[in-house]
Structure 1
Amino acid sequence: MSSASLSHLVLDTNSEMPLIARVYEVESAEELRSEEPVEAAAAVETGPAPAPVREALRPAARAPLAESGPAAEPLEEGSLPFVGQVLAYAPGESLLIQRRLHLDEDLYLADHAFVHAPGVKPVSACMPVLPLTMSLEVMAEAAACLAPGLGLIGFEDVKATRWIEVSDRDSELLNISARVTEVDADGQVWRIAVALQLEGQDMPSTTATVLFSTAYRVDLDLAFGSFSNPYRLPLTGEDIYRERHMFHGPCFHCLTGEIIIADEGAVTDLMTRPPTELFRSISQPQLLIDPALFDGIGQFIGVWAMQHDRYVLPIGFGKLELYRSTPPAGTRVPIRIEIVRDETMTMYANVEIQDGSGGVWLRVREWGSIKFRHPARVLDFRRQPTRHLLSRSLVLPSLAKGVQCCLISKADTQGFDPLLLARHYLHLDEMADFVAKAGVPPRQQQWQLGRVAAKDAVRAWLAARSEQSEMLHPAAFVIDSDAAGQPLVAALEGHARLPRISIAHCEDRAVALAGEQPLGIDIEQVRPHAAGFLESFSTAGERELLDELATEGEARDEWITRLWSAKEAAGKLLGTGVNGAPQRFEAIAIDGAGNFIIQVRDSDRLINVHSVREGNFVIAYAATETAGASGR
């Protein structure tokens, strides 16, 4: 659609334009200088306020916001939900507001959390993040306080540099600063710079210039081209959410109907939603934009990126222009995106959204996104953690029926930083152990990978026993340890029988077993060993057995590694470990396939241990004692 079709809106005084006449949601700062009259505040270089001004907002008698308390702020019907405590105000010049983001009040945060663990973890432990488009609403409301009598017409130079999280606590204090930077008397455009910064951070998280005027106007001249190679995506907008290709919860579900993908962009419909479930204490907030639907822009660009094996998060945009007020809730509004720059780490799209009646509602120039490439296993797990494992299931020869084995390496977790992976996998009771190991990152990584492998083995074992397609969420249970330091699954409500487990890790990978009987597993890297290493843990009889298999080179290194791992696995099966006495576990038979019979000295216990080569590593595992051995 060409800009010519919008010419009737250029500098046309529109009686339906939502104008902010006065702002009553104020606290302190001398009640916005005793609620400066509209005419006085708006007369900075622009003259009196325009005639088509909506009825002034009614006064809202809000309870004062506690300075440091964690309580959520009660809101009033019809109020601007983000105009919190006003700390400083210079009419027509600048404003400083504090607004406490609170999980109990700001319900939309639960629908914008990066960790999917409903009913398993509290929202605060799921990394809820303020959406970029909700940040736009916050900035627009603050800017409106400096432009009474004018209407919001858009945003420029929007930049998001870091997350605004409400993680591991129920609330965060957000500082919102606004400053008038330019008043274009000829064009009747006010430019107001706004910055959002969490308390305690040294720089803003999000910045933008917010545009206000007496009428909508068209300054963007975007030429949308034709599409090539279009095709209908097998998934509808509803399918996207049902299968969790987007992490967003219900209040951000706005993609609807069929989706057409082309080389240069895509088209579909968005659905405007009522803002009735965004805040706990206010069902009808006065919003200056539709932040939930605006979030659909980034979601839809993400759908296009997924078809090119990329995954994106928004980082800002050049300019957004509004040409009319928000269509009523329930309106289907067509959206078109055109990719104008696709770079190594970023991509940019122009956007046009219609109003559902053939007119154009808004346009965006160069909506920017940062690109990621994640392994398919990571994406599947993050989408549906109760249906997918992050680690790989290993089928090991001679492993008892029903025993589950899982292997994971650091490379398998691409797309997770350690803390985000911990939020997905660890129970709240395990987080303290994880944090305590932060001083030695390699040790923390090995411990964490071991927990991932063990939890996946346990989840697979429980699902196989119950013949259920849905597995337990990994954060729903705890891997604990007994008095001897051996890992075990802590008591779990609803599961009378829990598996035995064994965990091992080496370098950047970990492996675990889960089964009904005692188990033992070890993993070691094959590498040359210092002189005397073999003699330090083996018997003369074992060295003779190894001499029959290999006498030098990498093959010798591999058999030495297999022998050490076999002893470790046998010790874990008994629940004691080698306990500083590896010669107590003596291999009395070894075959060329890597199978061992380990005799426990001072007893008649014989343990079958098997070993396999996995890349440059050896995995040894023990799940049985030989028939007739004691202790069975």
Structure 2
Amino acid sequence: MSFERAKRVNGGDAPSWPATGEGGPPLIARMFEVQDAKELALAVEQPEEEAHLSERPSPMATAGAGSFDQIQEADTSEPRMPFIGSVLDYVPGERITIERKLNVDEDLYLADHAFVHAPGIKPTSACMPVVPMTMSLEIMAEAAACLAPGYGLLGFEDVRSVTWIDLADVDEVALNIVAQIVRHDAERGAFSISAAIYVEGKSSPAITATVLFGDRYLVELSPTFSDLSNARAHSLTADEIYVERHMFHGPSFQCLVGEFVLGDEGIVGELCVRSPEKLFESTRSPQLLTDPCLLDAVGQIVGLWAMEQERYVFPIGLTKLEIYRPTPPVGTRAPVRVEILQSEGKTLVADVEVQDGEGGVWMRISGWRTWKFRWEKRLVDFRRQPDRHLLATPAPAPRFDGAVSLMLSSAELKQFDPALLARYCLSADEMLTYKELERFPQRQRQWLYGRVAAKDAVRLWVAKRQQGEMSHPAAFAISSDERGRPFVKPAPGLGSAPSVSISHCEERAIAVAHEHDIGVDIERIATRDVGVVEAFASAKEREMIGRFPVQERDAWLTRLWCAKEAVGKLLGVGLEGKPLAMEAAEMTGDGQIVLSHKDRNARARVSTIEDDGFIIAYADLEQSVA
């Protein structure tokens, strides 16, 4: 969008024609399902075969008291409101309660609004699909429409999104949508209808709003949009934003188009009206009362402005939204202007105006509210493209050619919810193990960090070896044998997988991948009493450690313990409760230790490294040491 065009975005006029379609554009909230309140009452009270409501009944006219399965079997060529499921309670002119079962096979838009990016690797339900706030507005509007037949949707007031509505690890979840007429303002010609969405099993609503219906559009908002100060072009086009996944949205919600102009207190751009034909499985022509996908893009363009401030946002509500026209034709490019009103603290508040592509105003929003937070760039990059970025960082390198060693700590991941991290990185089988550890939160977190570090090490090792791209971390699994030794399960694209070893201490995890068997261990340097030392260090080993400066004694005792742990992992047997079965043959000042395992007739060289108060030990069979 050019700077000159950007200056004209807020120049449109709001219309004054009726909301019912008389003498103006088509009715926004025309109801094929419910011709009037009496018709809906009949549909609820009578069995399907007795409800003769018209010569050509709509899908919902006979399904008002039925199930969503009945709706799916209806004629999909007939426009219908897609969120009107089973009517549980209805008092004409007062209230209605509708149950709508969200289903990943029916509600196709969910796949385009999932937090975890794992296409072709995980099913939709495993990717934490979330109902957008703007789709929740559509859901509440459809329920409210049943209480105002013959009237048009004017907008929303006091929208408050409290919790996400998600389908995490389930294919279906039931919603109860409750709507009740609060008042009829004759002077404004508007019905105020309170609406709320409850998720099954929850006593509090996930989102609430007041939905406005009437016979004429309301024009009560008149936001002021100042000239963009310090105007500058955004560095990315809309196509680049989506291709590089700076926005996580799939095709249905990719309504940003063209270029964007940023200012210190605002942003200008264009939104595109997309076809709704792929939002639902059972209908290609849903009768939507709003354009939930384009409205979601309002949040996206607000998010673009926030990203320039190194912040990220999720919508949590709005003060008021007024609609002045029906949804423009598919393909319409609608100019949009955002004025940032507040950006301090944890919330960002903005006013928004969206035009209709013909110079008129389509809608205005007052007080669009978002929750604002900051993510480290490394975490952001991983979230948007987990098959191209690593979470773990390089650990002090072992003295073995070809090894990849990576480390993670809780401090680095404090902005990453562990449950969401698990969804990004773990396969289905690994997720089961993760959930089995729920009773032991610290152990669960350590196990997760170890698996994430190991997967990063494996996919980096494979990419280097194949000179190709990295795998998605959830595309393969790391399992354990009967002794607890980790190994990489065969998977497409991995080829000959490396050996892997994992260790964790406190809130740190380390993993190493190598062509040959290898062992790793990490321990914090600490003072150990005489009894503990004598339990794992022979007299010969204690004498060898005594040659080093006394101030290094704790570090060398930790090096020896780490070395024995690493050799136990290398051999796949652990310490077997007999640390004295291993004995050091050599210790050198650079941290190298040669250990002989008496019971296993094995000899290993261990490289020990001090790092930020910890000792890291890498063990390799002596004959394979470079």
TM-score of the aligned structures, taking structure 1 as reference length: 0.91
Map of 1:16 onto structure 2:
25
C-alpha contact 1:302 1:311 (8 A) present in aligned 2: yes
C-alpha contact 1:3 1:222 (8 A) present in aligned 2: no
Map of 1:532 onto structure 2:
531
Name the SS of the counterpart of 1:367 in structure 2.
Answer: strand
Aligned residue identity for 1:519: I
Distance 1:355 1:253 in 2: 18
Q: Choose 457-466 or 439-448, whichever is displaced more.
A: 457-466
Cα deviation, 1:192-226, whole Å, max 9, x if unaligned, reads: 00000111111110100001111112111211112
Map of 1:140 onto structure 2:
141
Name the SS of the counterpart of 1:532 in structure 2.
Answer: helix
Map of 1:47 onto structure 2:
none
Assess, with a 3 A threshold, how the Cα gap between structure 1 residues 509 and 336 changes in structure 2: closer, same or farther: same
Q: Deviation of residue 2 (structure 1)?
A: 10
Q: How does 1:275-424 map to 2 (within 5 A)?
A: 275-394=276-395, 396-400=397-401, 402-424=402-424
**RMSD (CA atoms):** 2.6
Distance 1:194 1:282 in 2: 25
Cα deviation, 1:173-202, whole Å, max 9, x if unaligned, reads: 110000000110111011000000111111
Assess, with a 3 A threshold, how the Cα gap between structure 1 residues 543 and 111 changes in structure 2: closer, same or farther: same
Uncovered stretches (5+) of structure 1, i.e. residues with no partner = 37-54
Distance 1:16 1:367 in 2: 27
Q: Deviation of residue 573 (structure 1)?
A: 1.0
Assess, with a 3 A threshold, how the Cα gap between structure 1 residues 210 and 328 changes in structure 2: closer, same or farther: same
C-alpha contact 1:610 1:620 (8 A) present in aligned 2: yes
Distance 1:565 1:301 in 2: 51
Map of 2:173 onto structure 1:
172
C-alpha contact 1:450 1:512 (8 A) present in aligned 2: yes
C-alpha contact 2:271 2:294 (8 A) present in aligned 1: yes
Distance 1:15 1:58 in 2: 27
Distance 2:251 2:70 in 1: 25
Assess, with a 3 A threshold, how the Cα gap between structure 1 residues 334 and 21 changes in structure 2: closer, same or farther: closer
Q: How does 1:573-592 map to 2 (within 5 A)?
A: 573-592=570-589
Distance 2:119 2:243 in 1: 15
Equivalent pairs counted in the alignment come to 605
Q: Deviation of residue 616 (structure 1)?
A: 2.0
Map of 1:43 onto structure 2:
none
Name the SS of the counterpart of 2:13 in structure 1.
Answer: helix
Q: Which of the numbers 614, 620, 623 marks the counterpart of 1:623?
A: 620
C-alpha contact 2:10 2:353 (8 A) present in aligned 1: no
Name the SS of the counterpart of 1:309 in structure 2.
Answer: coil
Distance 2:586 2:93 in 1: 88
Residue 34 (1) aligns with residue 33 (2):
no
Map of 1:155 onto structure 2:
156
Q: Choose 427-436 or 66-75, whichever is displaced more.
A: 66-75
Aligned residue identity for 1:475: A
Q: Deviation of residue 6 (structure 1)?
A: 3.1
Uncovered stretches (5+) of structure 2, i.e. residues with no partner = 1-7, 45-53
Distance 1:378 1:261 in 2: 25
Map of 1:467 onto structure 2:
467
C-alpha contact 2:60 2:84 (8 A) present in aligned 1: no
Map of 1:192 onto structure 2:
193
Assess, with a 3 A threshold, how the Cα gap between structure 1 residues 478 and 133 changes in structure 2: closer, same or farther: same
Name the SS of the counterpart of 1:386 in structure 2.
Answer: coil
Aligned residue identity for 2:25: E
C-alpha contact 2:335 2:357 (8 A) present in aligned 1: yes
Distance 1:101 1:398 in 2: 55
Cα deviation, 1:26-64, whole Å, max 9, x if unaligned, reads: 9xx99621269xxxxxxxxxxxxxxxxxx9996226885
Map of 1:120 onto structure 2:
121
Distance 2:197 2:139 in 1: 8
Distance 1:496 1:289 in 2: 49
Q: Deviation of residue 112 (structure 1)?
A: 0.5
Q: How does 1:35-114 map to 2 (within 5 A)?
A: 59-60=58-59, 73-74=72-73, 76=76, 77-114=78-115
Map of 1:431 onto structure 2:
431
C-alpha contact 2:404 2:457 (8 A) present in aligned 1: yes
Q: Choose 451-460 or 9-18, whichever is displaced more.
A: 9-18
Aligned residue identity for 2:189: Q
Residue 568 (1) aligns with residue 565 (2):
yes
Q: How does 1:443-454 map to 2 (within 5 A)?
A: 443-454=443-454
C-alpha contact 2:12 2:359 (8 A) present in aligned 1: no
Assess, with a 3 A threshold, how the Cα gap between structure 1 residues 512 and 30 changes in structure 2: closer, same or farther: farther
Assess, with a 3 A threshold, how the Cα gap between structure 1 residues 204 and 56 changes in structure 2: closer, same or farther: farther
Q: Deviation of residue 531 (structure 1)?
A: 4.0
Distance 1:404 1:14 in 2: 71
Q: Deviation of residue 70 (structure 1)?
A: 8.7
Name the SS of the counterpart of 2:618 in structure 1.
Answer: strand
Name the SS of the counterpart of 2:433 in structure 1.
Answer: helix
Aligned residue identity for 1:18: L
C-alpha contact 1:562 1:611 (8 A) present in aligned 2: yes
Residue 6 (1) aligns with residue 5 (2):
no
Cα deviation, 1:108-150, whole Å, max 9, x if unaligned, reads: 0000011111111111111111111111111111111111111
Distance 1:57 1:308 in 2: 55
C-alpha contact 2:392 2:456 (8 A) present in aligned 1: yes
Aligned residue identity for 1:582: P
Cα deviation, 1:411-468, whole Å, max 9, x if unaligned, reads: 2223322211111111101122111111110111111111111111111111112111
Map of 1:501 onto structure 2:
500
Q: Deviation of residue 153 (structure 1)?
A: 1.0
Distance 1:160 1:236 in 2: 30
Map of 2:3 onto structure 1:
none
Aligned residue identity for 2:267: A
Name the SS of the counterpart of 1:413 in structure 2.
Answer: coil
C-alpha contact 1:584 1:601 (8 A) present in aligned 2: yes
